[in-house]
Structure 1
């Protein structure tokens, strides 16, 4: 059921819109000022927002800018009274989907809502198709006929349609991120964001801000609010690479986010609901890390709902000719036709 937000300081108009949209089968949330509208959009995604231009405190234009910052894909219809057409045009230039001129009747609102939601669905479908084309190219590197790889493919097929947390294990270079992207692509979250974070590449002092975001003034260099990877991945998949390198103090915050499905930005006090599927990967022995007190046992069991172990290439040497053919074809346009001498291939396969 599509979820619609109404933001208007006129009680009677809010009541009419809310009643009419609910009767038409929509889930509706209503607020009476710009600040509350911004807070609502930052807290959760809405399929459509009806936003009045003239409201006390934060006006509609400022609220629209904040909404688009928090949710770049937000679909917003501005509502304007006679004599404020210039403002409505400014709103369109700032990313509003359409505008309604007051006074309007309910049929006009319902028609516009239907049109806006359909446009949103089409936009999402286009994004999904584009993502699919890109990922088809990427997954072509996920190659192998070895029984271990066949087991990997079967597991991807079993778990992709669920929302279970997955722990990908394997040495560096075994294709953990490719598998994570495949799980995302074949899930109901396909077309939504796939956001990757390397827990090893980012210093521990910055990783918390990178993952959970921060408010303006949260620390010395925080000159503006920034969304973290959890929020950016809302509705999609968050891939945590090298989870075994995450600092112990940050592990507890990650565990809380997984359990409660909410986060707090650094310097913030409001819980923010997030809807993400978490896929984690490591090349470390997490069982040893737990015994050494470097990895939380409760986080381990929260992440390790399903394990996917990827074999190194030395354990599936029969797949080397397939990979050689793949990479020769991939770079043929750039480098011209190339081949590998049979003796060289025999040496590679061993």
Structure 2
């Protein structure tokens, strides 16, 4: 790895105890000692991409996905494992033929069978889509080590350890609600000023929607997972008479997007009752239901931050314009309707 201080290329023996053997300065992360293979320079590089060199601020949840992304597409049976097993099996077999040793013949057959098994695992995608480190473990592991050394989060990151409730506009200025159960996404939107700019209340659950904004439209932001698809239905059932707008993700909407790599959680699959509700009127295809039942999902924190902010802003603007007569009049004469280039998110971060 490269020392983040003196830029020297360090071998493993030159960086004992997370200390550079040349400049004698400490660093936070060693790629050999954390599941994501992180080092300080990579974290800084990815944060710079996510924030567009400081134009916006992002959260640890968004950083976690960006750093995990390239590992999600890999199977547990990597090309290196397959090649190593095949090479060892071939060499053992050749030596066994020359020496006529039964044990080497057996070892060669075993290694070749192992190779075949690894190939089948790779084809079947065993281990694919499983994060090497959970979002919670990332926050309590690498980020804690970073803060111990540098005293704060990487520049450009805002804390998402709690739902942001101190960014709500005054009661008289509240025009709509953004229902968003993910504290990372809510903290991101609050840090970039969206609630105050548009008079929008960020709510974590249905109770907060009614308590802090008893009327007006409700915009639902959710992940592409089983709970997310049900959240919109639950909001409409719990808030009869109010306009509920589905602004969340679905596996269908992100399918084929180059930046969208779904993941799965074997420990958090939806139960049968949830799947029964999903199958009865949410509009999902049998294929989508099967994927959700297996735990596949795509989170809002996986959307490139600049793209996510632009899309949510457009939805909020259209919603506020529909309920605010002053904004409707302004839009009719061209205000707030300047031509804009399509929102293009940054290239997927975390690739290097």
TM-score computed with the length of structure 1 as normaliser: 0.24
* Higher fraction of strand: 1
- Structure with greater contact order relative to length (CA < 8 Å, sep ≥ 6): 2
TM-score computed with the length of structure 2 as normaliser: 0.24
